[in-house]
Amino acid sequence: MAASLLVLISGSGSNLQAIIDATQSGILKDKAVVKHVLSNRKKAFGLERAAKAGIPTSVHTLLPYKKEHGDEEGRRLFDEELGRQLVEHNPSLIVCAGWMHILSPIVLNQLSAHNIPIINLHPALPNAFNGIHAIERAYEASRQGKINETGCMVHWVIAEVDGGKPIAIQRIPITQDDTVDSLEAKIHAEEHKLLVQAIHDIVTGAVPRP
């Protein structure tokens, strides 16, 4: 039986498209299927990609919660509801594929209680450039002579941002000819392949769940 995937997105959904393609004609065919796509942004183009593939979608945005309840209480209520929605779908695996929102312990504890694993794709090597603007920070470090490579990884999600145990890693050299845009393009090209492979290894049991 194919594993059910719940994919979280915030933007264009190119990583989502790589997953969809792999389930239709790639290494995930008959092994996994995207059952639902959830975005924290109403205008995320990834929602259109999902709809085109016939995949149900939903949107869960933070702003209405903050407007009604204030920043702190609004975030707490948003997280509680997000966790509830994720659990309700009861996926085999949740995949953060360009999800630009920190998942708090309020969310992660709900998933853990229901034994639902969650992974994230991050455009940096382990413990190198955790958090936002990882590509830009790596590029700047290369220009300062501190590094000559960066990469991307798929890791288990824990409360510490990008601090979970890596599942798959791809190293990418930074050359003198690189610009931020060219480095970003190289990383994204590898991300798509790495994410699909990591999902494959998890759903087939090659990588044990935490």
Distance CA 33, CA 203 (A): 11
DSSP string covering 166-210: EEEEEEEE--TT--HHHHHHHHHHHHHHHHHHHHHHHHTTSS---
Per-residue pLDDT tens over the stretch 101-148: 999 999 999 999 999 999 999 999 999 999 999 999 999 999 999 999
Q: What is the pLDDT of residue 142?
A: 96
Residue 44 has pLDDT above 90, yes or no: yes
What is the set of active-site residues? 122
Inter-axis angle of helices 134-143 and 180-203, to 10 degrees? Answer: 130
Q: What is the pLDDT of residue 115?
A: 96
Q: What is the pLDDT of residue 208?
A: 87
Q: What is the pLDDT of residue 191?
A: 94
Residue 177 has pLDDT above 90, yes or no: yes
Q: What is the pLDDT of residue 156?
A: 97
Q: What is the pLDDT of residue 209?
A: 82
Residue 174 has pLDDT above 90, yes or no: yes
Strand partners, 7: 37, 95
Domain ranges of the chain: 3-132+154-170+191-203
- Residues 60, 38 contacting (CB under 8 angstroms): yes
| 3-132+154-170+191-203 carries CATH number 3.40.50.170 | yes
What percent of the chain has a predicted confidence (pLDDT) above 70?
A: 100
